[in-house]
């Protein structure tokens, strides 16, 4: 694994997806920015090239092909808004369907409400704690049931809170 990068000082909007996801805690983002071996494995698993698999965040110039086709991103861009919660139709049916489909999306409503309340910069500072290992302080994804660096279980507080839903999802893939 390459040396872990620390984005803790950054509050770049590209880490705050229009739908309320936190990009730095995404398996694809972590693989792209820190772990080339993980990127190779994930690319093979999902039948993508390594280049297609790279993603630097929702608002970056290089996104995962799935994120390139995101309905919420296109809609927000068309409406001239930064986050779905700014829309008069929030939460729309597309966002509801998206939110309910996978465990890393469980807290979208909480995230979007918090972004609206305190702004994305403050939200990013707060949300990092949900995905940081309590022992070694490395960022983990929703699907890292144990810390990818030190092996602590659970790897972060998000996993601790939603472990049952995450395991159920992983077992049904």
Question: What is the reported pLDDT for 45?
Answer: 94
Q: What is the rounded distance in angstroms from the CA atom of residue 76 to the CA atom of residue 40? A: 31
29: left (phi over 0), alpha (psi -120 to 50) or beta: alpha
> Does residue 115 fall inside a structural domain?
yes
Q: What is the CA radius of gyration of the chain?
A: 15
Task: Identify the sign of the CA torsion 20, 2, 63, 165.
Answer: negative
> Does residue 5 fall inside a structural domain?
no
> Does residue 163 fall inside a structural domain?
yes
Question: What is the reported pLDDT for 5?
Answer: 38
Backbone angles phi, psi at 16, to 5 degrees: -110, 100
Q: What is the rounded distance in angstroms from the CA atom of residue 95 to the CA atom of residue 93? A: 5
The boundaries of the domain holding residue 122 are 14-171
Question: What is the reported pLDDT for 11?
Answer: 60
Question: What is the reported pLDDT for 12?
Answer: 84
What total number of domains does the chain contain? 1
Question: pLDDT by residue for the chain (173 residues), tens digit each?
Answer: 332 333 444 568 989 999 999 999 999 999 999 999 999 999 999 999 999 999 999 999 999 988 889 999 999 999 999 999 999 999 999 999 999 999 999 999 999 999 999 999 999 999 999 999 999 999 999 999 999 999 999 999 999 999 999 999 999 98
> Does residue 8 fall inside a structural domain?
no
> Does residue 58 fall inside a structural domain?
yes
> Does residue 167 fall inside a structural domain?
yes
Question: What is the reported pLDDT for 66?
Answer: 86
Question: What is the reported pLDDT for 81?
Answer: 97
> Does residue 3 fall inside a structural domain?
no
pTM of the model: 0.89
Angle CA 125–58–142, to nearest 5: 60
Cis peptide before 91 (omega within 30 of 0): yes
């Amino acid at each position: 694994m390459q040396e872990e990068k620390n984005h803790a000082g950054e509050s770049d909007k590209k880490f705050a997806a229009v739908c309320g996801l936190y990009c730095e805690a995404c398996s694809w983002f972590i693989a792209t920015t820190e772990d080339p071996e993980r990127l190779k494995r994930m690319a093979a698993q999902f039948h993508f090239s390594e280049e297609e698999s790279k993603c630097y965040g929702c608002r970056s110039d290089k996104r995962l092909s799935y994120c390139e086709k995101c309905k919420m991103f296109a809609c927000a861009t068309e409406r001239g808004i930064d986050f779905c919660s700014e829309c008069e139709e929030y939460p729309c049916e597309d966002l509801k369907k998206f939110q309910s489909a996978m465990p890393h999306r469980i807290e979208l409503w909480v995230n979007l409400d918090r972004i609206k309340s305190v702004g994305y910069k403050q939200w990013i500072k707060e949300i990092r704690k949900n995905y940081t290992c309590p022992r070694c302080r490395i960022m983990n994804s929703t699907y890292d049931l144990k810390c990818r660096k030190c092996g602590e279980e659970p790897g972060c507080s998000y996993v601790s809170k939603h472990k049952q839903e995450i395991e159920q999802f992983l077992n049904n893939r």
